[in-house]
């Protein structure tokens, strides 16, 4: 006959076995739940309508098919992309949240802000997904038909004309500052929360000029609503063969290539990064994406996460030097 002490011993033994089996089975349960097992989100660092938004939405469906999960796009505009990257870094480092960063948020900002709430070491690149020149555009009703004509108007009317940007620190802003500095003209910077709203005002004649990412302006150029004066690449863009480069327009040291890439928090496990990159590489190599990027006047990069991290570090150094040379004050 079992005593009360015997019953307590059996109960303790059984309870210990249950707990042990739970511990042993936990990894198996986790292993049966491979990445990704739920929808993935891409945070866009600007308002709808700009190149970051266009690129994110162009990739999301195909990336979702490759990964077997929905890929959602969420716009978090404001503060030169800082709000969006803060949201990325506040998320779990598990691969389920990415951000479409760019030359502004992930390189230029380091030279413009003394107390950024993030460091380059806080993020890893999955890959740079798109590169494109910028294009200097004016409203089709604006009197200048060339860069030199714009410069002449600006010199004759200091402080009268303005240039729009997608926000302080974006390549659109820095392109305008470089032009202003190299041309020796006084034009007013008007920042927006993305290229989309900036273009709305440019089309309405509320601002006079913008050195925009080509993908967000090319549709308006083709429709005749915007007049392109120059592209910022070393060579002419095949989609705008009659538009000169800034170097051809008289600015031999002017070159800007905007880029856009997917980033995750730095502590994201390497196997997850590798899986995201493998899927992204397939998407970037697909005829659908290549045709889309060509239509936008850009091209895919698609380099490895490690090489992309090295590229971003080099861009950070380059734009810190530009900010110093252009005497742009840090905030």
List, in sequence order, every beta strand (DSSP E) within the chain.
40-44, 71-75, 97-102, 123-139, 162-165, 188-191, 209-213, 226-231, 257-265
Taking residues 241-256, report their average pLDDT.
Answer: 96
Q: Are residues 286 and 198 in the same domain?
A: no
* 13 within a domain of the structure (yes/no): no
Taking residues 129-149, report their average pLDDT.
Answer: 97
* 27 within a domain of the structure (yes/no): no
| 3-state SS class at 48 | coil
Q: Are residues 155 and 192 in the same domain?
A: yes
Q: Are residues 117 and 50 in the same domain?
A: yes
Q: Residue 15 — pLDDT band, cuts 50, 70, 90?
A: very low
* 196 within a domain of the structure (yes/no): yes
List, in sequence order, every beta strand (DSSP E) within 39-122.
40-44, 71-75, 97-102
Taking residues 36-45, report their average pLDDT.
Answer: 97
Residue 28's pLDDT is: 46
Q: What is the number of domains present in the chain?
A: 2
Residue 322's pLDDT is: 83
Residue 8's pLDDT is: 54
* 3 within a domain of the structure (yes/no): no
Q: How far is CA 104 from the centre of its chain?
A: 8
Q: Are residues 226 and 181 in the same domain?
A: yes
Residue 146: CB atoms within 10 A of its CB come to 14
DSSP string, 210-256: EEEEHHHHHHHHHHTSEEEEEESSSS--TTSTTSPBTTTTT-TT---
Taking residues 150-158, report their average pLDDT.
Answer: 98
pTM for the model stands at: 0.84
Whether the pLDDT of residue 328 is over 70: the answer is: yes
Angle between helices 51-67 and 270-285 (to 10 degrees): 110
Q: Is 218:296 a contact under the CB 8 Å cutoff?
A: yes
Q: Are residues 320 and 288 in the same domain?
A: yes
Q: Are residues 120 and 267 in the same domain?
A: yes
Q: Which two tokens stand for residue 216?
A: 């967000």
Q: Which two tokens stand for residue 260?
A: 């856009």
Q: Are residues 142 and 124 in the same domain?
A: no
Domain end position, chosen among 215, 231, 247:
231
Residue 11's pLDDT is: 46
Task: For residue 288, give the CATH number of its domain.
Answer: 3.40.190.150
Helix (H) or strand (E) holding 66: helix 51-67
Domain end position, chosen among 192, 216, 231:
231
The residue range of the domain holding 209 is 133-231
Q: Which residues contact 189 (CB under 8 A, 6 or more apart)?
A: 162, 163, 165, 173, 176, 177
* 62 within a domain of the structure (yes/no): yes
Residue 329's pLDDT is: 84
* 105 within a domain of the structure (yes/no): yes
Q: Are residues 45 and 61 in the same domain?
A: yes
* 30 within a domain of the structure (yes/no): no
Q: What's the CA gap between 318 and 171, in Å, rounded?
A: 13
Q: Are residues 149 and 112 in the same domain?
A: no
* 279 within a domain of the structure (yes/no): yes
Q: Are residues 80 and 64 in the same domain?
A: yes
The average confidence (pLDDT) of the chain is 91
Task: For residue 181, give the CATH number of its domain.
Answer: 3.40.190.10
Phi first, then psi, for residue 258 (nearest 5°) are -80, 145
């Amino acid at each position: 006959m079992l005593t009360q002490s015997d019953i307590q011993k059996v109960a303790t033994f059984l309870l210990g076995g249950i707990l042990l089996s739970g511990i042993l089975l936990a990894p198996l349960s986790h292993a049966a739940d491979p990445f990704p097992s739920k929808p993935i989100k891409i945070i866009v660092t600007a308002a709808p309508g700009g190149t970051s938004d266009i690129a994110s939405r162009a990739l999301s469906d195909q990336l979702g098919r490759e990964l077997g999960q929905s890929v959602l796009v969420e716009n978090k505009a404001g503060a030169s992309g800082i709000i969006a990257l803060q949201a990325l870094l506040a998320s779990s480092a598990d691969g389920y949240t990415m951000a479409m960063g760019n030359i502004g948020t992930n390189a230029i900002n380091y030279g413009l802000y003394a107390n950024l709430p993030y460091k380059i070491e806080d993020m890893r690149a999955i890959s740079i997904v798109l590169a494109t020149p910028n294009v200097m555009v004016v409203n089709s009703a604006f009197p200048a038909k060339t860069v030199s004509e714009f410069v002449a108007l600006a010199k004759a009317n200091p402080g009268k004309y303005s240039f729009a940007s997608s926000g302080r620190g974006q390549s659109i802003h820095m392109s305008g500052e470089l032009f202003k500095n190299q041309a020796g003209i006084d034009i007013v910077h008007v920042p927006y929360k993305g290229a989309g709203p900036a273009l709305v005002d440019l089309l309405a004649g509320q601002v006079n000029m913008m050195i925009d990412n080509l993908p967000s302006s090319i549709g308006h150029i083709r429709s005749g609503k915007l007049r392109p004066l120059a592209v910022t690449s070393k060579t002419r863009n095949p989609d705008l063969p009659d538009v000169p480069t800034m170097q051809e327009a008289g600015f031999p040291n002017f070159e800007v290539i905007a880029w856009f890439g997917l980033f995750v928090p730095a502590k994201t496990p390497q196997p997850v990064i590798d899986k995201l990159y493998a899927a992204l590489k397939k998407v970037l190599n697909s005829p659908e994406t290549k045709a889309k990027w060509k239509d936008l006047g850009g091209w895919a990069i698609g380099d490895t996460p490690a090489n992309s991290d090295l590229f971003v570090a080099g861009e950070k150094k380059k734009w810190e030097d530009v900010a110093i040379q252009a005497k742009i004050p840090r905030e």
